[in-house]
Structure 1
Amino acid sequence: MKRIALLATGGTISMKRDSITGLAVPTLSGIELLEQIPEPLLDCDVDVVEMDRVGGGQLTTTLFFKIAETIRDLVRTNDYQGFVITQGTDAMEESGYLLDLLLDIPHPVVITGSMRNASELGYDGIANLHQALMVANCPDSWDRGVTIVLSNEIHSAVDAVKTDTSHLQTFESPGKGPMGRIMKNVVSYFHEPRQKKDHYKAKHVESRVVIIKAGIGEDGQIFKQIPPDLVDGYVIEGTGVGNGQYWMEEWIEEQVQLGKPVIITSRCPNGFVDMVYGYPGSSSRLIQKGAIQGIGLNSMKARMKLIAILGQTKDMTQIKKFFEGCDISYEKPEFNIK
């Protein structure tokens, strides 16, 4: 019988209401979760590795760096068909993407959790865990990167985003849809993952990357006062095609001179950063000042990617190439804008 490793970190799937406060807290271990699946439904042996027992808001990049190392160690034993990770859904799109960047293995790595805790009616945790184990045990799941499985759907961690605070069907892949579904006891895939897979040999994931949201009326004084040694890089969540604000032009030049990469993304769930406009603070002008396009990534995923890259290199030329995927030796276009 095939073997699956279950790495438990806590999350809502592990929570029950506290008898005193009435609020949900991490309670159940990975073993206790697994024991709730009827044995006849398991088509594989499962080894449980207790990594942590915390809420989604307490997760760290360091924990998932450790999880990636643990999975690599387990792969070397040649005993495992796949891996399942239980965690909180709040940061699942970030942690899943980070793992996808850190792991360069063909084995299925499946992340799951729940939207309701074990004290609520309609608790979805055990059904999601069972389906995640099915996906990890499926031969068709190999070479698809890290996936997120909840509510009968399989999403690529590269594309998945959480879209609702409480709905069971909270994860979507904007512009692409789910990679597959679990229909009763059958795992079915609709399409293949993207051809290009990004993986980095990060030595650490402790770089400090700040997200700046480009809202109207922000004069940037707060960001200008941040001591340079406190931040290693920035992600701007711009409007539309990645437009920011006028003060960002001079500020980006200063950051680039200090060796701090600045990545531009969009607040829009679909579409790409593009050089369309020429007014002060527009994406074209910010890119001309040295900002890097976060092509196809939202701000949270761009932050995870920059953290992973900075764990490997701080070379601005390489960082630009990793994000934009092109020959960075070309000269920047001149727009004749003032």
Structure 2
Amino acid sequence: MSLPEIALITTGGTIAARPLPSGEVVVADSGEELLASVPELAEVARVRLVELFRIDSSLMTPQDMLEIARRVRALDRDESLAGFVVAHGTDTMEESAYLVDLLYAGERPVVFTGAQRNADDPAPDGPGNLLDAARIAASPEARGLGAVVAMAGRIDAARDATKVHTTSLEAFSSLDRGKLGEVADGAVRIFRSRPRPLNLSATDAVEPRVALVKLAAGMDGALLRAAREGGTAGIVLEALGLGNANPGVVREVELCTEAGLPVLVVSRVPSGSVAPVYGDGGGSDLARAGALFGGSLIGQKARILLMVALAARRRSGTPLEELLAPHLRI
């Protein structure tokens, strides 16, 4: 029986990085070099290599993320492929994975993986992560999960995964939502399914001009005003607690929404949802000022969702609230 075939899309990142003689670490390895560094892949699947970028993920732009999604959708037309692996830097992996998840309607898994240690490290984690990702991509058990992040044996939904440590090999978590599954002793185990709203999956554009503004004690509306006056197309407001601000911020939010600039409120707290409950500059006042509420999404994920939804509204004319709603109820 022949092995399944998967596509490996390489974009750079620490998994393909090495130190220069001067000490700083930079992306260096080609897709072919990365593939050759994990000969055990030949025991898991036949690999079709697609080298898309060779950059650090701190340089990844929304347009680059869109190109990853387009490449996945193009490859998905090939019925001979069992799944897809995207080798990506960890700094912005969660954002790329979520954007792909929003734009991909296929059943075959899209597995994002990378490394915390560069390829010259005495004990690199990249090869093991890449091998696990290939196992997930080739596994029938992973069908229907959409895009996932696979690091250190964990499998996390793209919507929920977030980087929680700068150096630990266990860099990603889904916090209180929990992981989808794991790879243990070479076996893929899926613990639960996940909802996948597909109303944005036909979108083939993003609106990159979305600002993310985080509140802290005593801040006023100056950053919101700067975003509004700077030509942004939308704002994600990472508010306090349950989705609270202060009267000065509320006044600026009202000016934004009156100007047709959507403001999506999320919380700076890592877990839990926002709700329009408090007055005196709190969430209830933000709602009256025209702000939308972003459920349990964290700031960087809400920004990706708003980028896609704004592009979809421009194409279809569908109200923004209607485009966002299925993604905020889960």
Q: Same fold by TM (over 0.5)?
A: yes
Q: CA deviation at 1:301?
A: 0.3
Superposition map of 1:241-280 within 5 A: 241-279=242-280
Correspondence for 2:5: 3
After superposition, the CA RMSD in angstroms is 1.9
Contact 2:103 2:204 (C-alpha < 8 Å) held by counterparts:
no
Correspondence for 2:176: 175
Superposition map of 1:1-338 within 5 A: 1-19=3-21, 21-39=22-40, 42-194=43-195, 196-197=197-198, 199-226=200-227, 228=229, 230-279=231-280, 281-314=281-314, 318-325=319-326
Paired amino acid for 2:18: K
Paired amino acid for 1:146: A
Could you give the per-residue CA deviations for residues 75-101 of structure 1, whole angstroms, max 9, x where no partner exists?
223221110000110111111111101
- In structure 2, C-alpha distance between the alignment counterparts of 1:241 and 1:298, rounded to whole Å: 12
- In structure 2, C-alpha distance between the alignment counterparts of 1:235 and 1:286, rounded to whole Å: 13
Q: Where is the helix percentage greater, Structure 1 or Structure 2?
A: 2
- In structure 1, C-alpha distance between the alignment counterparts of 2:292 and 2:167, rounded to whole Å: 34
Q: Specify whether residues 143 and 177 from structure 1 end up closer, same or farther in structure 2 by C-alpha distance, changes over 3 A only.
A: same
Greater shift, 187-196 or 83-92, is seen at: 187-196
- In structure 2, C-alpha distance between the alignment counterparts of 1:207 and 1:292, rounded to whole Å: 19
- In structure 2, C-alpha distance between the alignment counterparts of 1:200 and 1:41, rounded to whole Å: 32
Paired amino acid for 2:301: K
Q: Percent identity, aligned pairs only?
A: 34
Q: CA deviation at 1:55?
A: 0.6
Partner of 2:175, secondary structure, is coil
Q: CA deviation at 1:277?
A: 1.2
Could you give the per-residue CA deviations for residues 212-239 of structure 1, whole angstroms, max 9, x where no partner exists?
1111222223432445462000000001
Could you give the per-residue CA deviations for residues 110-147 of structure 1, whole angstroms, max 9, x where no partner exists?
00000000122221000000000000000011111101
Q: CA deviation at 1:206?
A: 3.6
Could you give the per-residue CA deviations for residues 239-270 of structure 1, whole angstroms, max 9, x where no partner exists?
10011121222222221222211000001111
Paired amino acid for 2:181: G
Paired amino acid for 2:295: I
- In structure 2, C-alpha distance between the alignment counterparts of 1:91 and 1:40, rounded to whole Å: 25
Paired amino acid for 2:8: L
User: How many pairs were matched up?
Assistant: 324
Q: TM-score, normalised by structure 2?
A: 0.93
Paired amino acid for 1:153: R
- In structure 2, C-alpha distance between the alignment counterparts of 1:197 and 1:15, rounded to whole Å: 35
Q: Specify whether residues 204 and 79 from structure 1 end up closer, same or farther in structure 2 by C-alpha distance, changes over 3 A only.
A: same
Contact 2:40 2:131 (C-alpha < 8 Å) held by counterparts:
no
Correspondence for 1:329: none
Correspondence for 1:336: none
Greater shift, 217-226 or 28-37, is seen at: 217-226
Paired amino acid for 1:58: L
Paired amino acid for 2:131: H
- In structure 1, C-alpha distance between the alignment counterparts of 2:50 and 2:69, rounded to whole Å: 13
Contact 1:107 1:143 (C-alpha < 8 Å) held by counterparts:
yes
Could you give the per-residue CA deviations for residues 24-80 of structure 1, whole angstroms, max 9, x where no partner exists?
100111211111223475221101111011111001111121121112222223221
Partner of 1:308, secondary structure, is helix
- In structure 1, C-alpha distance between the alignment counterparts of 2:194 and 2:136, rounded to whole Å: 15
Partner of 1:131, secondary structure, is helix
- In structure 2, C-alpha distance between the alignment counterparts of 1:138 and 1:170, rounded to whole Å: 23
Contact 1:292 1:324 (C-alpha < 8 Å) held by counterparts:
no
Could you give the per-residue CA deviations for residues 135-185 of structure 1, whole angstroms, max 9, x where no partner exists?
000001111110100101111111101101101111110112111111112
- In structure 2, C-alpha distance between the alignment counterparts of 1:195 and 1:258, rounded to whole Å: 32
Contact 2:242 2:273 (C-alpha < 8 Å) held by counterparts:
yes
- Give unmatched runs, 5+ long, in structure 2: none
